[in-house]
Amino acid sequence: MQLAAHTGRLGRRVMGWVLGLAALAACAGALAQDLDPAALAPLASDETDAKLGAIDRLGRLPDPRAAEVLQALGDGQLLATPDGRILVERADGQTVDPLSGQPVAKPGDADNVMINNRLRRAIGAALATSQLYSKQAGERLAAAQRLQQTSDASRLPLVAEAIRRETDPQVRAALEIAQARLQLAADDPALRRAAAEALGATENPAFRSMLAALVQQNADGGYAEPDEGVRSAAQAALRRIDRHMATVEWAGNVFYGISLGSVLLLAALGLAITFGLMGIINMAHGELLMIGAYATYMVQTLFRQWLPPGWLDWYVVAALPVAFVVTGLVGMALERTVIRWLYGRPLETLLATWGISLMLMQTVRTLFGAQNVEVSNPSWMSGGVTVLGGLVLTYNRIAIIVFALLVVFFVWLLLNHTRLGLFVRAITQNRRMADCVGVPTGRIDMLAFGLGSGIAGLAGVALSQLGNVGPDLGRGYIVDSFMVVVLGGVGQLAGTVIAALGLGGVNKFLEPYAGAVMAKITILILIVLFIQKRPQGLFAPRGRSVE
């Protein structure tokens, strides 16, 4: 914002120099039918109508100086002397003559030209066209895009003139669209037809209603558009726009599906280790997510209090190891004190861990209060990138997708390429045999559970960037996480990934038709039905160890 204002000011200054040079070089009359004192004089009058006329004329002048005058008028920076001279007061306090661009002393009797709302509207419209002649391609483009929104047919010659003068292909294209939009009301059917085709080629939904109005059938059976050819062209254009909209919507669903899927994946990944590999029904998994999110909050608070403000943007990165270690330690403590006594009794584990989850929740409530705490996105995560002309991919969602993939890679690496992973897999396959060949099962159990919990903590960091952080944060994810692991097949990392992304995608594609809640219900029912067919999940382990 500040940057934009700054460049704007700079642009104006550059324009001033250019103007000065032009005024020096050109003889009077070289810029014939351009800005002259006669065009400016009415601005000094008290009559609103006279001013309106002058503004309108200024707007049609293909002269960059006219834009400056209009801009100054709109900003209340235009001065008028009682003898009818018009001066521009620049932002730096300098007073210049708009005709010559030369600085002049500010006359003592100069007054700011007053404007009212009617004038302000007229200035806006005039500027839109006037800036078409700006020296800056960016300003010209913006003006052309503003022009695309108007339906004032009297602008047509102006646009045509601007197209004739325009050299920048991008601005030219934008101008042609604006022209097409105005020509939609032209008298010549061939022009209207070409206009409809041009608008269709933009694939811009903003023109949809306009085109749809053409092919609308009136009550008496006639059409708003009398010409058959134009109608069919409009139909084709409509189809094209609709197709593009459908593509954008589809791409949006894919993106949000992947985004939701990556959230589910993060939430379920820790569970894939504790439940999938170790067979522990950890109902406190959601609370481990919550602890990870609160660890993020703590790190953020510490950064705010002790470190220079510039560092605050990176608190999320610092929160990752903190959350991992904190939740990992909580997990290991749980494993050593409670869960280790319950191996082989899954239903009892379920109850005990549920009890633990209640205690963890209440502890957090006591420490931090029952209200949600405020965790803010770092600046590099806010905002987003626009693709396909209308689909906004927010940076925080992109960051979480990337993060989820990194965590999966990390887990895969740990399980398949480290000694700890080897031991964990050995215990999964045959606990007693692993014990016999010297795997320290007790310690590995503790470490593996700590790992699963730590990953839940990492997921908690990600979740804190997406939604509210409160003591109930984990409850919303527990059913979903179990669904992902059960659907993916117990003990299968790949299954978990595919199940999470699949569930996320299906959910987002169902939502437009069924609404968020019904989509969720439908998915739960689909999972229940799916498990009928494949009780072991998508990727069933085969062999005698299954039972």
Residue among 220 and 547 whose Cβ is closer to another protein: 547
Minimum distance of another protein from residue 475's CB (angstroms): 8
SS3 category, 372: coil
Number of H helices, E strands in the chain: 21, 6
Minimum distance of another protein from residue 258's CB (angstroms): 23
> What does the alpha-carbon distance between residue 134 and residue 451 come to, in Å, rounded to a whole number?
61
> What does the alpha-carbon distance between residue 545 and residue 547 come to, in Å, rounded to a whole number?
6
Residue among 32 and 529 whose Cβ is closer to another protein: 529
Minimum distance of another protein from residue 338's CB (angstroms): 6
Residue among 105 and 529 whose Cβ is closer to another protein: 529
Minimum distance of another protein from residue 524's CB (angstroms): 4
> What does the alpha-carbon distance between residue 20 and residue 262 come to, in Å, rounded to a whole number?
58
Q: Which pair of structure tokens corresponds to residue 96?
A: 């210049």
> What does the alpha-carbon distance between residue 315 and residue 323 come to, in Å, rounded to a whole number?
12
> What does the alpha-carbon distance between residue 253 and residue 231 come to, in Å, rounded to a whole number?
32
SS3 category, 373: strand
> What does the alpha-carbon distance between residue 524 and residue 434 come to, in Å, rounded to a whole number?
37
Residue among 201 and 338 whose Cβ is closer to another protein: 338
365 forms beta bridges with: none
Q: In sequence order, what DSSP letters do the residues of 86-115 get, joined into one string?
A: EEEE-TTS-EE-TTT--B-PPPTT-EEPP-
Q: Which residues bind another protein (CB under 8 A)?
A: 281, 283, 338, 341-342, 346-352, 354-359, 361-362, 365-366, 475, 478-479, 482-483, 486, 517, 520-521, 524-525, 527-529, 531-533, 535, 547
> What does the alpha-carbon distance between residue 110 and residue 98 come to, in Å, rounded to a whole number?
15
Q: Which pair of structure tokens corresponds to residue 152?
A: 């004032």
Residue among 174 and 281 whose Cβ is closer to another protein: 281
> What does the alpha-carbon distance between residue 128 and residue 60 come to, in Å, rounded to a whole number?
10
User: Residue 212: which residues within 8 A CB-CB, separation 6 or more?
Assistant: 238
Minimum distance of another protein from residue 278's CB (angstroms): 13
Residue among 138 and 442 whose Cβ is closer to another protein: 442
> What does the alpha-carbon distance between residue 160 and residue 212 come to, in Å, rounded to a whole number?
26
Minimum distance of another protein from residue 58's CB (angstroms): 55
Residue among 376 and 536 whose Cβ is closer to another protein: 536
Minimum distance of another protein from residue 270's CB (angstroms): 16
Residues 52-59: contacts with CB within 8 Å, 24+ apart? Answer: 52/118, 52/119, 52/122, 55/119, 55/122, 55/123, 55/126, 56/122, 56/126, 58/126, 58/130, 59/125, 59/126, 59/127, 59/128, 59/129, 59/130
Residue among 137 and 370 whose Cβ is closer to another protein: 370
Displacement of CA 117 from its chain's centroid (Å): 34
Q: How far is CA 350 from CA 208, 225, 282, 339, 480, in A?
A: 56, 69, 6, 10, 16
Residue among 221 and 344 whose Cβ is closer to another protein: 344
Q: Write the burial class of residue 278 (CB in 10 Å: 0-12 exposed, 13-18 middle, 19+ buried).
A: buried
Minimum distance of another protein from residue 486's CB (angstroms): 6
Minimum distance of another protein from residue 273's CB (angstroms): 16
Q: Which pair of structure tokens corresponds to residue 389?
A: 């002309």
Helix axes 169-183, 156-165, angle to 10 degrees: 160
Residue among 126 and 263 whose Cβ is closer to another protein: 263
Q: Which pair of structure tokens corresponds to residue 444?
A: 């590995």
Minimum distance of another protein from residue 289's CB (angstroms): 16
Minimum distance of another protein from residue 350's CB (angstroms): 6
Residue among 87 and 356 whose Cβ is closer to another protein: 356
Residue among 158 and 264 whose Cβ is closer to another protein: 264
SS3 category, 203: coil
DSSP single-letter state for residue 187: S
> What does the alpha-carbon distance between residue 374 and residue 381 come to, in Å, rounded to a whole number?
16
